[in-house]
Each structure stands twice: as C-alpha cells, then as structure tokens.
Amino acid sequence: MWCPPGLSLIRALGRLASCGSLLAGSVAGGATPARTHNALRRALVRGDLRQAEVLLKSGAPTNIDLATDTPSGRRLACPERRSWVRAQPAVVWAASAGRVETARLLLRHGADPETRVRGLCCTVLHLASMLCDPRETELLLRYGADPNALDRHGRTPLIAALRNHALCEEHLRNRGSRQQGSREFLRQSMHPIGKVVQVLVVRYGADRSWSGDDGHDAAHWSFLGCAAAIWAWVRFLR
C-alpha cells in the first residue's frame, strides 16, 4: 500500500512523542514502573530499537522478562527443549530469536552478558553457542562473557555447542533413514558449528581440554558429531 513520503517519519516522531510523554509522566509520578516495563517490552518485540533506547536511557531495566517460545526454527537438542522455560530475561529472548542488534542495545545499556537461561541453568553464551549463532556468540564475548563459564553439568560453551550439534546430527541421522530425499534433512545437516568453534577457540581462547561432569571433553563430542553427520550422508546417498 502506497503512503506519502513523509508519513513514515511522522509515525516515527509520533512514537517518540508518546514515549517522551510516557517518560515525562513517569518523572511526575503519573506512570507506574509496570507501564514503563510494558512499553519497553512492546518496543523490543516490535523491533523499535529507537524507542527502546529512549526508554533504557531513562532508566528502564534491561533485565525485564519476555515470553519466549522454544527456539523451534533453530537447532536445540531434545533434552534442552524439554527444560525450556517460557519467561526469560530480555537478552536471552534476543539470543534465542537471533536478534543481534537488540542484544547489542541491551548489552550496551548494562545487560549482563552472563545472564543465566532459566530451565537450562546455563549462560546466554551457552545458548548462543548451542544455537550455532556466531554473531551472537562473538557479541557476548566482546561484552565480557566468560568463554569458559560452566553450566549445571560442568560444561563450557564450547562443549555445550559440540554436544548439542552431535545430538542433533544423531536425530537427523535417524530421521534421514526414514525420509530419504528430504530437503530439510540436507539443509539442517549443513550447520555452521565450525564458525562458533572458531569464535570460541581461536579468537577468545576457550579451553579445549576441559571435561564436563560426564567426563566428556570437546574432542569427544566433536568426533560424535562428525561421525553422525558422515553416517547420515552415507545413508542418504545410498
């Protein structure tokens, strides 16, 4: 639908004006913190980073909760999917949805780069690594996330990423044996785990020799992931 050239600018100015009146009312005692929090939630979900930044500069907290679905369109192994909790901090929501610029805004305004993911009991860096998102992974590391932080099972982000990859490849292997010729199978098998490993190990010095509570290190899960992927392709091409 066609709209006049200046209409989008007028709408943007209108949103900023309403945001300004909200902040003015907050200073005067007319707006409750809940109203400001809801305005920030709406701005983040809508992707209106300009309005979100105005609210954050006025003192709105970066750790508000947002309703977050399990990352279904991206790869997360079954054990983690079962433990997912819907209400997550905003920076976790941004990481799970792949919204890098939103995460950058929150981190720039003081969000903790080592925020814990509810249900999984790991850091947001673990989550970004498991979802094989190299941009989100590097962003969190740049803002001070610990590349060797441990989750509840004693796994580092590197181990968590390789383990999640291995478990997903195992699932795809079983699925591929039943659904030969599936384009989805081909697409998901080619997953950018290598980019995440490069960011963690080469650029930020993650410990490659650490073992989790189960005694398995990064090399173990890397071998299983490669073996599962190779076997899946053999079954598919047979």
Round to whole Å and give the CA distance between 56 and 71: 26
Model confidence pTM above 0.85:
no
β-sheet bridge partners, residue 66: 88
Round to whole Å and give the CA distance between 3 and 163: 50
Q: Which of 57, 74, 90 is the last residue of a domain?
A: 57
The answer to whether residues 159 and 115 belong to one domain is: yes
List pLDDT tens digits, range 70-102: 775 456 777 788 888 889 999 999 999 889 999
Q: What is the mean pLDDT of residues 10-16?
A: 57
β-sheet bridge partners, residue 117: 122
- From residue 222, alpha-carbon distances to 63, 130, 167, 208, 229 in Å are 34, 13, 11, 11, 11
Q: What is the mean pLDDT of residues 1-21?
A: 55
- Confidence band for 180, pLDDT divided at 50, 70 and 90: very low
Burial class (CB in 10 A: 0-12, 13-18, 19+), 79: exposed
Top mean pLDDT of 32-46, 101-115, 184-198, 221-235 is at: 101-115
Top mean pLDDT of 3-7, 193-197, 204-208 is at: 204-208
Round to whole Å and give the CA distance between 145 and 123: 9
Burial class (CB in 10 A: 0-12, 13-18, 19+), 84: middle
CATH of the domain at 203: 1.25.40.20
The answer to whether residues 39 and 82 belong to one domain is: no
- Asked whether residue 4 is domain-assigned, the answer is no
- List CB contacts of 50: < 8 A, sequence separation 6 or more: 12, 15, 16
Bigger pLDDT: 192 vs 217: 217
The answer to whether residues 129 and 202 belong to one domain is: yes
Bigger pLDDT: 183 vs 80: 80
Per-residue pLDDT for 175 more than 80?
A: no
CA angle (73, 206, 199) in 5-degree steps: 50
- Asked whether residue 104 is domain-assigned, the answer is yes
What is the domain extent for residue 49? Answer: 14-57
The answer to whether residues 71 and 185 belong to one domain is: yes
- Confidence band for 124, pLDDT divided at 50, 70 and 90: very high
The answer to whether residues 147 and 207 belong to one domain is: yes
List pLDDT tens digits, range 25-59: 444 444 568 888 899 999 999 999 999 999 999 98
- Confidence band for 225, pLDDT divided at 50, 70 and 90: confident
Q: 107 near 133, Cβ under 8 Å?
A: no
Per-residue pLDDT for 13 more than 70?
A: no
The percentage of residues in the chain with a pLDDT greater than 70, rounded to a whole number, is 70
Mode of pairing for the β-strands spanning 116-117 and 122-123:
antiparallel
The answer to whether residues 92 and 161 belong to one domain is: yes
Per-residue pLDDT for 214 more than 80?
A: yes
The answer to whether residues 126 and 27 belong to one domain is: no
Per-residue pLDDT for 105 more than 50?
A: yes
- Asked whether residue 1 is domain-assigned, the answer is no
The answer to whether residues 132 and 53 belong to one domain is: no
The phi, psi pair for 131, rounded to 5°, reads: -80, 5
The answer to whether residues 140 and 31 belong to one domain is: no
- Asked whether residue 87 is domain-assigned, the answer is yes
The pLDDT value given to residue 177? 44
Round to whole Å and give the CA distance between 182 and 104: 36
Average pLDDT of the chain is 80
Could you tell me the two tokens for 59? 């003192």
The percentage of residues in the chain with a pLDDT greater than 90, rounded to a whole number, is 45
